[in-house]
Amino acid sequence: MTVLEDILDDLDEVYDLEFGEAIEVTGPSGDFAGIFSKEYLEADPGLTIGVRSSIPELRTRDADALAEGASVVIPKGGTTYYVTEPQPNGYGETIHRLRLNP
């Protein structure tokens, strides 16, 4: 078994909807497993007051990757986000930066 095959096997566990970290989200072509996060980051370029902002992201398997501008509905609250920047990580996943307005 290759390293990439090991990684893809591990992703099967992570994206398991029952026991993994993933939730079911809805994209343009149907439902799929994704891992949504909306962490707050603080940018402080040496100033005394930092700027805080949340950057919503959705991790998916590469097979479920979305194009820039695609919409995705996150079930908690039914919020629709739009993909601003899909970024494949080279290990079988794509991280999608999201925004609320198209």
| Domain chopping of the chain, boundaries | 3-99
Kindly report the CATH class assigned to 3-99: mainly beta
The pair of structure tokens assigned to 43 is 């940018």
- pLDDT at residue 43, as a whole number: 62
Distances (CA, A) of 78 to 14, 29, 60: 23, 17, 18
One-letter amino acid at 72 equals V
- Smallest CA-to-CA distance from 3 within 98, 92, 96, 69 is with 92
- Smallest CA-to-CA distance from 82 within 96, 66, 69, 67 is with 69
Find how far residue 23's CA is from the centre of its chain.
11
pLDDT in tens, 35-64: 999 876 666 666 666 666 678 999 999 999
